[in-house]
Amino acid sequence: MKRYWEIDALRGLMLVLMTFTHLPTRFTDPLGQPFGFVSAAEGFVLLSAFVAGLVYTRISDRQGVDAMRRAFWRRALKVYLAQAATLLFLFTVITRVGLRIDQPAVKNLLAFYLTNPIEGFGYSLLLVYEPALLDILPMYIFFMLMSPWVLAFALRHGWTVVMVASAALWGLAQFEFSEWLYGLAVQYLHLPVPFREMGAFNAFAWQFLWFAGLWLGASRHAPDAEPIRFPKWLVALAVGAALYGLWWRHHGINGQAPFGGDEAMNLLFDKWQLGPLRIVNLVVLGIVTVHFGPSLMRRLPRLHALEAMGSASLPVFCAHLVAVLLVLAFYGDSQTVRPWWGDVLLLVVVFAWLYGVAQATLWWDGRRRSRAAATAMPARSTARPDPPAAPAARR
């Protein structure tokens, strides 16, 4: 199946930006939300959903809905195993190092687990307890488990009902729907995990972004799909809004908090709730990217390092978590504990590690495909040919 190198490069870029954001260095704040009040997480989720819509719609068309469901579930299982492995690394290596050197950053990160190790371990495997930094993959698993049913319904009945329901659920999420469900879980299931330990991302809000990307990807599968084009006036409006958001983010007096200490207004741009103005900022950036991206890609050299990381996005994402957790364990969460050259050296080492993981993953995948092809070839060559047809009887 054809890979879209442009999508891989963009996903690789999102992983690079995530690494800059999560590693505590002097580059964290300047490169956090670099294009406005939108982070790399939104871009990564949207691109992943787009690819999922494109790939799994193709599987549904060629092999049927049941094959599409099985493919989704296999991917969800793979992501779950990656999450479980990362949790095991956190609860063993990072916990031991953090306690050995009395690292406050690790103690804060693992506060619930250190107080309730059995409940913390068990509920983390159930994807209920989600320590900071390890709360993205559980949300992704939730989306992957929901997607086969949603995609099958949409392919049969259209996307209107799906997106209206998704938008309604996003709206409920803005008014403490998650907190209400949590209260029911505590009341009837006696859930011991505090709400703040269940991940920063509100999955009921972020599902809107996922299903929007799934819809876009599915719509691109059709062989007669026309390129997405926008009216000139809309492009001009999007460019103006994107530039204003960029200026506001980097030259405003409040940095990444658009309205300073006004918490009510900041909710409009809130990352964890996926606030409405944040969606607007993402949409205008998307319009600009779709309109100018193809011509820009034709002029730029292909960025093979970003493509490699985007192609191996799951292992690279987990590798970036390993690097961030190790830095937190040894250095803490201070952004100024090292000199500037120490930060540069640290970033060089981390990105070399991520690129190495990407290359190793692609090499292993290529070797596995070669083995599968080599195994299949003898089976075809040793199959007995059909006997020649008997000559027709003469009349």
CA–CA dist 167, 379 (Å, integer): 51
393 found inside a domain: no
Residue 160, judged by CB atoms within 10 A of its CB (0-12, 13-18, 19+), counts as exposed
111 found inside a domain: yes
CA–CA dist 273, 205 (Å, integer): 6
226 found inside a domain: no
Beta bridge partners of 198: 130
Classify residue 302 by its DSSP letter: P
CA–CA dist 367, 344 (Å, integer): 34
Torsion of CA 139, 145, 147, 153, to 10 degrees: -140
66 found inside a domain: yes
Over its length of 395 residues, how does the chain's per-residue pLDDT go in tens digits? 566 788 999 999 999 999 999 999 999 998 889 999 999 999 999 999 999 999 999 999 999 999 999 999 999 999 999 999 999 999 999 999 999 999 999 999 999 999 999 999 999 999 999 999 999 999 999 999 999 999 999 999 999 999 999 999 999 999 999 999 999 999 999 999 999 999 999 999 999 999 999 999 999 887 677 788 899 999 999 999 999 999 999 886 667 888 888 888 999 999 999 999 999 999 999 999 999 988 888 888 888 999 999 999 999 999 999 999 999 999 999 999 899 999 999 999 999 999 999 999 999 998 888 888 887 666 554 444 555 544 444 33
79 found inside a domain: yes
Whose CA is closest to 323, among 315, 334, 360?
315
349 found inside a domain: yes
pLDDT of residue 261: 82
**Which residues form the domain of 31?**
11-221+240-370
pLDDT of residue 224: 72
Whose CA is closest to 21, among 11, 9, 30?
30
388 found inside a domain: no
pLDDT of residue 255: 75
Whose CA is closest to 20, among 37, 38, 34?
34
CA–CA dist 33, 175 (Å, integer): 25
254 found inside a domain: yes
Q: How many domains are contained in the chain?
A: 1
For the beta carbon of residue 292, count every other beta carbon within 10 angstroms. Answer: 12
